[in-house]
Structure 1
Amino acid sequence: MTVELEKKNKIQLIVLTDYAYINGGASQVALSSLNYLADSGVDVRLVAAVGPIDASINRDKVLVTCFEGVDLLGDALRFRSAVNGLWNYKHKRNLELILKEYSPVNSVIHIHTWVKSLSSSVIKACIDHGFKVVLTLHDYFLVCPNGGLYNYPKGEHCTVPPMSLSCLSTNCDSRSYAHKLWRYTRQLIQENIAHIPNEVKNYICVSSYSEALVSPYLPEGANVFRIPNPITIKKLPNLPPSLSSSFIYVGRFSPEKGATLFAQAADALKISATFVGLGSEEDRIRTLCPSAKFLGWLDSNGVLGAVKSSRALIFPSICHETQGLTVAESAALGIPAIVSDGCAARELIVDGVTGLLFKSGDLVDLIDKIKMLDENPSFADELGGNAYVKYWGSPSSLEKHVASLLFCYENIIYGSS
């Protein structure tokens, strides 16, 4: 086989994301697979709007193009930021120059995030040039102006149909109604000018929970691939959770994450509580639970070490979420989790077997569930052991994630017209 023919048959992959570095769960997933995909024989290129370029990317194997732009919050000129957030012409032109180097025949454009800098203009560029596109739905921005299908002022799931007139008149934004109107306008442009989701036929959902929420809004005949986010934890002997009496929360300190609910429960029970993270609710959490320990924002190894030294993980999120990686990570360490039944992470729990579910937002129920593990250490050991066995029976490894991505790409290129 000639070199030209090999290149023609080789999968050409462009990964599009707002950030060229890891600054959260979505970018972690987008970047962590690049080297593995290249090792699997895929011609990989990362295209991102905002630098710097993450040091974990092997640039001998992965071609990286960074537009050296800024995200919407980082632009000092607010009017320019507002306009670029609606439709970024510069990023679209830059991407179109890159697309000229590729053939739509054997190429896939895998898009992870676009609302922080790239804008839907780049997706429109891919569609207009005939490329096959797949979107990973790390959030709900595909269908919802605020990205959460959540009413932030009311602190509850939003039941209003997205982009309806009722949606337009509902102040659901975490900032202000004026910002909601800007987001609504952005969504109108995304739907009516970029033609998303109608012109995109391939999607990756990370849980059945999130898939059920977005499926009614996907185009008829859309291909939906269920590919959970990977976690990178080495299998180690699990230690009994009963060795610790501390309960832990890991995540952002914002109202929809429910950290204050845990703080109230911990103070009522007078248990040892640890909080890992940062956010606007920190002062309130400290007031609600003065005895709590705060570790700040830790790297992945620091988080895993803190979780492993706990009786149980508390995952009290009031918003939908799309998966809940910390629950899976906790299970991999043999630590049980107490999870809100109103979020995607509930799928990771077999109630009463590998962890416990509590009624979303219900302080009394959360107190009861924490009390069960606080007063019965052997039950915590039983749940943690079961969680460990269940996770490692089918681990969400990076290798498994990449194999699923390859199946997805091959199906898109060779299994569709």
Structure 2
Amino acid sequence: MHVLVVHNRYSSAQPSGENKVVDQEVGLLRAAGHRVDVFERRSDDIGARSLPGKVAVPLLVPWNPAVRTELAARLRSERPDVVHVHNVFPLLSPAVLAACADVGVPVVATLHNYTQICPPGTLQRDGRPCTECVGKAPLPAVRHGCYRNSRLATVPLAVSLSVNRRRWWSGVERFFCISAAQRDVLVEAGMSPEQLTVKHNFVPDPEARRSGAGEHLLYLGRLAEAKGVRLLMTAWDRLAADGGVGVPLVIAGTGPLEREVTAWAADRDDVRYVGLYDPAQCRQAIARSVAVVAPSTWLEAFGLVAAEAMAAGVPAVVAGHGAFVELVEDGVTGLLHRPGEPDSLASCLRRITADPAQNREMGRASRRRYEQGFSPAVGLERLLDGYRTAIAGRSGGGDSPSPLEDESTGSRRETRASRDGGSR
């Protein structure tokens, strides 16, 4: 199969699970013998633009005509079987969909967040869930300055959502939702359930897996309000006041709350802030964990760190909402705390560290869950099923065999989405 991946890479200054997922899927497909090319822009390149060029960036968010021309020419030259779109903000824009339509190439798109119904893509405002823009013009997002707390910065996103909504829904054969929870929200918001297929992100089998009891609790991710960092600090302070849990808390990452986290962790024996880890350090830190902690206050569309913990045989303590409730089975592969409640989080952290035997059994169950649902083999099957469905849909073949049929049987496999009905 020949796949062209379209992606606007996020800034390298911040850890990006989305960048990681794109790179891993490209590597997975290539390792399986498929040809994968990449059409991309990099947000890092904005800094090198001239002043007029930087000023013009917001104007390109709703529509970048140069991208349409460039991508259409490449599609005519290379003729891929399918185009896989990831992020188009801020330099690519939905013009990539017009280019694909110009040449007649089928499109699949992974929805990594909620940008189809919410300008900043988080369904959250002021630390609380928000659906004020869902199903209507996104004027509330502009009024509240939901993107970067800036009305001006929010305007291009709101305009793009408004003017390109129909283009997305008509120009994409198949949307990959990264959880059933995300799919449910999008269906309730009016997106067609027939276009939405659940395809969980996969995680490469790590070189490091936990072999002992673990040395620390680990928070690994962006240091932001929506990720529950302040909630974690509050819960940890309450645990410390009650004697602690016997292991330190390691916080790895960077983000807008970095200064606050650094000051909070300074001169403490029970907390270590280690900054931004590289991928190898992340794998090692997870493998040495008693548990990984993900107390997000927003409705995570997936929760990559929980799947990475499972791959290493490590349980997770996560917020009991969003995609986490389908990733982590409470009491089996980890613990779910009540979202936004520091006492509930503190209780779960105490529980996950109190019984080493139970913790080890949770770790073994986590690894089994990973092998069944988030391994590379499962990820590859789901990707190819989605591509086949998109190609058949564009060609009008419906459920008939496509040129990308299973070589061993001569017939297309039933897609996982069809078997599962796209639900939990």
Shorter-normalised TM-score: what interval?
A: 0.7 to 0.9
Distance 1:405 1:21, change over 3 A: farther
Q: How does 1:14-413 map to 2 (within 5 A)?
A: 14-19=4-9, 24-38=16-30, 40-50=32-42, 70-71=45-46, 76-77=51-52, 78-103=54-79, 107-151=81-125, 154-162=126-134, 164-165=136-137, 167-168=139-140, 170-171=143-144, 172-191=146-165, 195-217=167-189, 219-220=191-192, 222-234=194-206, 238-241=210-213, 243-244=214-215, 246-270=216-240, 271=244, 272-290=248-266, 291=268, 292-392=271-371, 394=372, 396-413=374-391
CA RMSD after TM alignment: 2.7
SS in 2 for 1:148: coil
Give, in angstroms, the shift of residue 340 of structure 1: 0.4
Q: Which residue of 1 aligns with 2:3?
A: 13
Tell me if structure 2 keeps the 8 A contact 1:75–1:81.
no
Distance 1:117 1:71, change over 3 A: farther
SS in 2 for 1:342: coil
Between the aligned residues of both structures, percent identity stands at 24
SS in 1 for 2:324: helix
Write the distance in 1 (CA, Å) between the matches of 2:92 and 2:138.
28
Give, in angstroms, the shift of residue 174 of structure 1: 3.1
Q: TM-score, length-normalised on structure 1?
A: 0.83
Unpaired runs of 5+ residues, structure 2, are 397-424
Tell me if structure 2 keeps the 8 A contact 1:264–1:288.
no
Distance 1:150 1:75, change over 3 A: farther
SS in 1 for 2:351: helix
Tell me if structure 2 keeps the 8 A contact 1:317–1:343.
no
Write the distance in 2 (CA, Å) between the matches of 1:102 and 1:237.
41
Give, in angstroms, the shift of residue 173 of structure 1: 3.1
Amino acid paired to 2:380: V
Tell me if structure 2 keeps the 8 A contact 1:72–1:82.
no
Distance 1:390 1:163, change over 3 A: closer
Q: Which residue of 1 aligns with 2:405?
A: none
Write the distance in 1 (CA, Å) between the matches of 2:290 and 2:186.
35
Give, in angstroms, the shift of residue 202 of structure 1: 1.0
Distance 1:252 1:220, change over 3 A: closer
Write the distance in 1 (CA, Å) between the matches of 2:343 and 2:147.
28
SS in 2 for 1:91: helix
SS in 1 for 2:299: coil
Higher RCO (C-alpha 8 Å, min separation 6): 2
Tell me if structure 1 keeps the 8 A contact 2:60–2:90.
no
Amino acid paired to 1:280: P
Tell me if structure 2 keeps the 8 A contact 1:308–1:335.
yes
Write the distance in 1 (CA, Å) between the matches of 2:123 and 2:278.
29
Amino acid paired to 2:184: A
Distance 1:122 1:378, change over 3 A: same
Q: Which residue of 2 aligns with 1:7?
A: none
Give, in angstroms, the shift of residue 218 of structure 1: 5.7
Write the distance in 1 (CA, Å) between the matches of 2:356 and 2:206.
25
C-alpha deviations, 1:206-250, integer Å up to 9, x for none?
A: 111111112244654633332211211247664243x43x21100
Of the structure 1 ranges 357-366 and 41-50, higher mean CA displacement relative to structure 2 is found in 41-50
Tell me if structure 1 keeps the 8 A contact 2:208–2:284.
no
Distance 1:93 1:218, change over 3 A: farther
Q: TM-score, length-normalised on structure 2?
A: 0.81
Write the distance in 2 (CA, Å) between the matches of 1:248 and 1:79.
40
Write the distance in 1 (CA, Å) between the matches of 2:370 and 2:24.
20
Distance 1:237 1:96, change over 3 A: closer
C-alpha deviations, 1:105-148, integer Å up to 9, x for none?
A: x7211101101320111112212432211101112112221111
